[in-house]
């Protein structure tokens, strides 16, 4: 069996509905063996979307070493938290070296939090100039933007540029406060690739559950039943990757009633689960 796939918006890439994120053990230094095991498990599961960020400790270097010889088989993406042309270009130089590649399939503006940051991005000598510059020169194929702090800030950022993708939180706690779910619908309607993050709420719900495997399946089903292309999740071990892949292989879209019941079940813990919001 192979993981189900879906077209990542206007990029045209057929992405596996599970992507490996740069969090978990990949967001460390000095855990080469464990990181390699996670990456190899992702490859063995058929995952073709790999995501990291300049801010994620040794994640880029782990991927660069472990994906050697696989570049043409995967969609590789990283992020820059730089807000000026100079900062973003410096990040890209390091990123390409760490990942041992000449180009990124997708380069993302990382973690937009405030309206001031949005203004800085679009200003002369702002980071968006770097993203456009890199795309023109073939160092980057597509451009995305990410945010998990405030949906209105991310919505404003989407007006600055015709981004190819957006990465945002998707989980059953979201409807309780400043939800990103309507923005996911808007982005998909515009033809963007929509990537879900915070799907497991940093593992809090599985840790709280009596049947962790079952709640992982439900959370992945919830996310993939929304207006998203794929869910990107970090992992601490090869076993976790296998668990996530099994959940996606077994994916059956949730009915609106099933999704509503899950939202109601987590509502008492929603603010704790949305640790990523102010």
DSSP string, 138-156: TSEEEEEEE-SS-HHHHHH
Mean pLDDT in residue range 188-216 = 91
By the 8 A CB rule, do 40 and 69 touch?
A: no
Q: What angle do CA 207, 202, 107 make, to 5 degrees?
A: 155
**pLDDT tens column, 150-184:** 999 999 999 999 999 999 999 999 999 999 999 99
42: which residues sit within 8 A by CB, 6+ positions away? 20, 50, 235, 241
Rounded Cα distance, 221 and 277, in Å: 23
The CATH-assigned architecture of domain 5-273 is Alpha-Beta Barrel (3.20)
Alpha-carbon dihedral angle through residues 76, 204, 222, 21, given to the nearest 10 degrees:
0
- pLDDT of residue 213 exceeding 90, the answer is no
Query: Coil, strand or helix: which one is 118?
Result: helix
Distance CA 193, CA 22 (A): 19
Is residue 71 over pLDDT 80? yes
Question: Pairing state of beta strands 165-169 and 140-146?
Answer: parallel
Whole-number pLDDT of residue 1: 59
Domain range list for the chain:
5-273
- For 18-58, the pLDDT digits (tens) are 999 999 999 999 999 999 999 999 999 999 999 999 999 99
Give the per-residue pLDDT at 212: 82
């Amino acid at each position: 069996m192979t993981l189900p796939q879906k077209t990542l918006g206007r990029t045209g890439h057929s992405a596996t509905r599970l992507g490996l994120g740069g969090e978990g053990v990949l967001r460390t230094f000095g855990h080469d063996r464990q990181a390699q095991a996670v990456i190899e498990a992702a490859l063995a599961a058929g995952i073709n979307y790999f995501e990291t960020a300049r801010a994620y400790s040794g994640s880029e270097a782990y991927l660069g070493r472990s994906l050697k010889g696989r570049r043409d088989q995967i969609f590789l993406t990283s992020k820059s938290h730089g807000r000026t042309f100079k900062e973003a270009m410096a990040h890209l130089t390091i990123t390409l070296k760490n990942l041992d590649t000449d180009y990124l399939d997708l380069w993302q503006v990382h973690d937009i939090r405030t309206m001031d940051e949005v203004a800085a991005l679009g200003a002369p000598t702002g980071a968006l100039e770097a993203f456009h510059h890199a795309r023109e020169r073939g160092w980057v194929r597509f451009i995305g933007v990410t945010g998990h702090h405030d949906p209105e800030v991310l919505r404003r950022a989407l007006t600055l540029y015709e981004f190819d993708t957006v990465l945002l939180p998707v989980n059953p706690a979201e409807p309780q406060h400043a939800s990103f779910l309507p923005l996911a619908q808007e982005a998909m309607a515009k033809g963007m690739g929509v990537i879900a993050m915070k799907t497991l709420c940093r593992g809090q719900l599985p840790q709280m559950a009596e049947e962790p495997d079952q709640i992982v399946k439900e959370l992945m089903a919830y996310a993939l039943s929304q207006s998203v292309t794929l869910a990107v999740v970090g992992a601490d071990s090869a076993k976790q990757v296998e668990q996530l892949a099994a959940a996606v292989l077994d994916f059956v879209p949730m009915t609106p009633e099933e999704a509503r019941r899950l939202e109601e079940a987590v509502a008492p813990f929603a603010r704790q689960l949305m640790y990523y919001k102010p």
